Amino acid sequence: MAAVRSAEDDNEECAMTGMTVGFIGLGAMGQGMAASLLRAGHRLLVWNRSPEPVAALVAQGADAAGRLADVFAAEAVVSMLADDRAVEQLLLDPTLLAGAKAAVHLNMATVSIALAERAETMHTEHSMGYVAAPVLGRPQVAAAGELNILAAGAETALAKAAPLLSAMGRRTWHFGTRASHANAAKISVNFLIACAIESMAEACSLAESHGVRPTDLVEMLSGTLFPGPIYSGYGAMVAERRYEPAGFRLPLGLKDVDLALTAGAAANVPLPFGSVLRDAFLDALAHGDGDKDWVAVAAVARRRAGLPA
């Protein structure tokens, strides 16, 4: 598994030969990714269901697209939508794809394996390259152009997408020529992060119930056994009960756990802890935490332990 050329190399090339890129989906992640493309010298045509993010990108130099068809008339299309339903409704329209002029579409959302396979087939039928390129990183990482990107697709499509991927990310990890492989990898990663959040929440609840400060526990863990951004970043949020602002909303966490369970069932892979996670996320939603970060699932472990929320 190899990375694409360095971001520095590709960004220098893009500054001279910027592409016309259509960008769909300007949520918390999409805004930063689109801004990174602008900084790299690409001409950007943006579309979003709500107008405010479009206006913000126009102020930075992008152009607003009146229709999705206008976006697909660009040289390349990048989309960052919330879920399968949004991608299905907006982008997998045979009429839209039949009239498209774009050479490649980069779908950077975390979607199901089944949708990835269907999307790749439909794009191939309309002679358009399709690259699945879900990302690792929160909004501030996207805004800095420092995402890790998990990419898969036909080699020709990946080659066309390479300058755009380098503009948005620190490194691109290749997972082969079948687009769905990138989505399988991303679903597995998010499942692992959800497991880590839940285990940290339970460990912190256990320690606190015996008089240990959770912040002390997490500081020790992230400085010894579990270094890295998951335990230091999410661990601190768990220990401090810091669930806002939401960098990744709790309903999206539930969506990703469900994606993992569905993918597991399709391949006869048991994920017993996935059922525990799903119930914990549903519990958090039932208690009104839907607008909080997905780390707010830690409040469920606290309630189970009889600790104050």
Domain ranges within the chain, ordered by starting residue: 7-177, 184-304
Give the least confident one: 11-20, 163-172, 236-245: 11-20
Whole-structure pTM over 0.85, yes or no? yes
Q: Is 54's pLDDT higher than 70? A: yes
Biggest distance spanned by C-alpha atoms of the chain:
64
Q: What is the mean pLDDT of residues 55-76?
A: 97
Q: What is the mean pLDDT of residues 61-83?
A: 97
Q: What is the pLDDT of residues 88-141, one digit of tens each?
A: 999 999 999 999 999 999 999 999 999 999 999 999 999 999 999 999 999 999
CA distances in angstroms from 1 to 113, 152, 171, 295, listed in the order given: 20, 11, 12, 31
Q: What is the pLDDT of residues 288-304, one digit of tens each?
A: 999 999 999 999 999 99
- Per cent of the chain over pLDDT 70 is 94
Q: Is 7's pLDDT higher than 90? A: no
**pLDDT, averaged across the chain:** 94
Give the model's confidence band at 309: pLDDT under 50 very low, under 70 low, under 90 confident, else very high.
confident
8 A C-beta contact, residue 28 and residue 48: no
CA distances in angstroms from 142 to 26, 73, 145, 177, listed in the order given: 12, 25, 5, 25
- Per cent of the chain over pLDDT 90 is 94
Residues classed as catalytic = 186
Q: What is the mean pLDDT of residues 184-190?
A: 98
Beta pairing class for 129-132 and 169-174: unpaired
Q: What is the pLDDT of residues 121-130, one digit of tens each?
A: 999 999 999 9
Q: What is the mean pLDDT of residues 276-291?
A: 98
Q: Is 62's pLDDT higher than 60? A: yes
Q: Is 264's pLDDT higher than 60? A: yes
Instruction: For domain 7-177, give the CATH number.
Output: 3.40.50.720
Give the model's confidence band at 5: pLDDT under 50 very low, under 70 low, under 90 confident, else very high.
very low
Query: Does residue 270 have a cis bond before it (omega within 30 degrees)?
Result: no
Give the pLDDT score at 193. 98
Q: What is the pLDDT of residues 223-262, one digit of tens each?
A: 999 999 999 999 999 999 999 999 999 999 999 999 999 9
Give the pLDDT score at 173. 98
Q: What is the mean pLDDT of residues 181-190?
A: 98
Give the model's confidence band at 221: pLDDT under 50 very low, under 70 low, under 90 confident, else very high.
very high
Instruction: Decide whether 7-177 matches 184-304 in CATH topology.
Output: no
Homologous superfamily assigned to 184-304 = N-(1-d-carboxylethyl)-l-norvaline Dehydrogenase; domain 2 (1.10.1040.10)
